[in-house]
Amino acid sequence: MKAVVNAVGFVNLLSCSSIGVKRSYEEYISQPREINTFAAYGSFILGTGIVEQLRPEK
């Protein structure tokens, strides 16, 4: 997943894949890539929160 700021200042999450249980690894990796899926935003928000907590105080 890649995060980029778009022309209007919002974050777009690129190369996201839908989550879900798949029957095989091949099925999992062959899922189409999407932009701004709900699952990607959830992971992005959680990850950003963790990184912010680990940053040294200014």
What average pLDDT values come out for the chain (58 residues) when binned by 10 residues?
Answer: 91 82 84 84 89 86
The pLDDT, as a whole number, for residue 38 is 82
Could you tell me if 17 and 33 are in contact, meaning their C-beta atoms sit under 8 angstroms apart? Answer: yes
Residues 12, 15: Cα–Cα separation, whole Å = 10
The pLDDT, as a whole number, for residue 5 is 94
Domain count, the chain: 1
The pLDDT, as a whole number, for residue 58 is 65
Question: What's the domain range around 14?
Answer: 2-54
pTM for the model stands at 0.62
The pLDDT, as a whole number, for residue 13 is 92
The pLDDT, as a whole number, for residue 21 is 76
Strand partners, 34: 16
The pLDDT, as a whole number, for residue 22 is 80
Residues 23, 58: Cα–Cα separation, whole Å = 47
